[in-house]
Chains A and B, each alone.
Chain A
Amino acid sequence: MPEEEQGKVLIVFDYIYHAMRAKPVLEEAGFRAREVAPPPEYRTGCDLAVEIDASDVDPAENVLIEKGVMILDILFMPKGTEFVPVYLTNLMKTVDYGEFLMVRCGNMKITYQKGSGKIVNISGGGCPDIPYLGMKLYGTVIGEGPHPRLLGKTICSYTLEHAYERALEIFKKESKKKGK
């Protein structure tokens, strides 16, 4: 198909666990990829799709298959179709509780003790892996224990990872200031 007639291509997944792995796998293989919301008929309430260039479809699909990323469907969308991007970087807020700092990203919150970096609470979200992540992360030192992305399987855990990363960044800065 001539380049000017090509629309966008959307890769959709059965499980967010696979959708979360797709972008880093594709980027590592040299493809451009963007995480977006799938079309309404594919939505369940825990949704993430990946947009790629139409010219990359076949090699990108091969890479995902090779790496064990399970695809539900590949959708060829009309030229000019606009997808809703993930807004997580716009959804950050911190709340200072004195001895503790809470970092909120969208609907997910992580709170740690400032001096020690110990995670004391995780709040928000609605998917089954969030209580599981809470259990695994409580009491660990931020940056030293497991990251949410390593254990999570849903977009709530993907959102929590962003909060975790921001909390880690702040904690490192604080530690550096104190000469730790």
Chain B
Amino acid sequence: MLLLVGTIPMEDMPLTYGPVRYQPDKLTIGDYTLEGQYVTLGTAAMISSASATSQAIGSDAPYALVVGDTGMGDGTMKLLKYLVDEMATMKPGVITLHYILPTRDPFINFVNTAHSQEKRPFLIADAGALLNAKAVKMATKFDLFTPDPGEISFLADPEAAHPAYVQHFIFSVDQTEVPKLSKDAYDHGDAPRYMLVKAPTDHIIVEGKVVAKINTPNIPAMEPIGGTGDTITGQVSALIDSGMEVVAACEAACKINRTVGELARPSPDTTIAQFIPFIGEAVKKVLGK
């Protein structure tokens, strides 16, 4: 079972757990339905993407654990506590942790709980969870990170407490910097075994080494669109949960997201809500399903 975890930018959304189903303009999580702009904001964009991918490949519906949090961290605390208390009952095979407010002890407890399960879940981190894992020196306890260029710069800088403190920031990602930064991050224990670096050329990294690069189709207008990184994380999560080998799943997710861009024909004012409805078609095009 794939469990997608993160916060939703609402003041009053209760802790909600259940199977998810994405439909255009509607995302159902258990008994709760998100509508309108909430379907594609932050964690919800990732969940919608994972659900659309699962539907396209015909695999089981993912589950989600979400809660309202607009930045003070109250919702994040509830999420992490619920995970610690209920993980043994939920028995997730894959957990993807997304938009959360970084914390110390609650986060460390979550990771230790995952590692104490009879069958340890495959752990994926993006967004706030990725920042948190590095800051508390637990990156190697995860299996896959999905960083963008700012986040890989952060992982590669052992002194940086946040991307705002990175001394060497990559703006023009080239063929030299991503491999070097990925190796640096892995060598000093700030990267997991697998990484999918989301950039103009996507890089798949295993134990600090580049094993694949994907750069077509190239859609430059995707960069300003908020959420195009979140959708890759959702896609790769669904593919890994379906049983696909990790590197193959990373490569496929990169191709699917780029194909979505090709189908959506975006401009810099395209929203992620206009992008996600093309995921099903892109999955079928890339995987031939």
- Chain A min CB distance to B11 (Å): 9
A134 touches B70 (CB 8 A): no
Bound together, the chains give a CA A39 to CA B9 distance in angstroms of 30
- Chain A min CB distance to B89 (Å): 26
From B43, B101, B151, give the contact of A154 (CB < 8 A). B101
From A47, A91, A104, A127, give the contact of B161 (CB < 8 A). A47
B134 touches A45 (CB 8 A): yes
Total interface residues on A, CB under 8 Å, equals 53
- Chain B min CB distance to A39 (Å): 9
B72 touches A131 (CB 8 A): no
Nearest residue (CB) in B for A123 is B226
Which residues of chain B are near A127, meaning CB under 8 Å?
A: 71, 99-102, 127-128
B41 touches A135 (CB 8 A): yes
Interface of B is mostly: loop
Total interface residues on B, CB under 8 Å, equals 62
Among B7, B71, B132, B160, max chain A CB count under 10 A is at B71
Kindly state whether residue B129 has any CB partner on chain A within 8 Å: yes
Q: A109-B223, A120-B268, A121-B226 are in contact. Are A157 and B167 (CB under 8 A)?
A: no
A135 touches B131 (CB 8 A): no
Chain B positions 231-283 with a Cβ under 8 Å from a chain A Cβ: 267-269, 271
A131 touches B9 (CB 8 A): yes
Kindly state whether residue B28 has any CB partner on chain A within 8 Å: no
A87 touches B100 (CB 8 A): no
Among B43, B73, B134, B224, max chain A CB count under 10 A is at B224
Kindly state whether residue B130 has any CB partner on chain A within 8 Å: yes
**Chain B interface (Cβ within 8 Å of chain A)?**
7-9, 37, 41-44, 69-73, 75-76, 98-104, 107, 126-136, 148, 150-151, 154, 159-167, 169, 171, 220-221, 223-229, 267-269, 271
Q: Could you list 20 examples of A-B contacts with CB < 8 Å?
A: A40-B161, A44-B136, A45-B102, A45-B136, A48-B162, A87-B166, A87-B167, A87-B169, A88-B164, A95-B224, A97-B224, A106-B166, A107-B150, A121-B268, A126-B131, A128-B7, A128-B9, A128-B76, A131-B99, A152-B71
Bound together, the chains give a CA A135 to CA B8 distance in angstroms of 11
Q: A113-B269, A126-B131, A130-B99 are in contact. Are A46 and B162 (CB under 8 A)?
A: yes
Nearest residue (CB) in B for A103 is B224
From B162, B227, B229, give the contact of A37 (CB < 8 A). B162
Number of A-B contacts (CB under 8 A): 181
From B37, B150, B154, give the contact of A135 (CB < 8 A). B37
B135 touches A87 (CB 8 A): no
From B101, B148, B267, give the contact of A46 (CB < 8 A). B101
B-facing mask of A104-145, CB < 8 A → 1, else 0?
Answer: 101101010100000011111111111110110010000000
Bound together, the chains give a CA A93 to CA B107 distance in angstroms of 33
Bound together, the chains give a CA A152 to CA B9 distance in angstroms of 12
Chain A positions 37-89 with a Cβ under 8 Å from a chain B Cβ: 37-38, 40, 43-48, 84-88
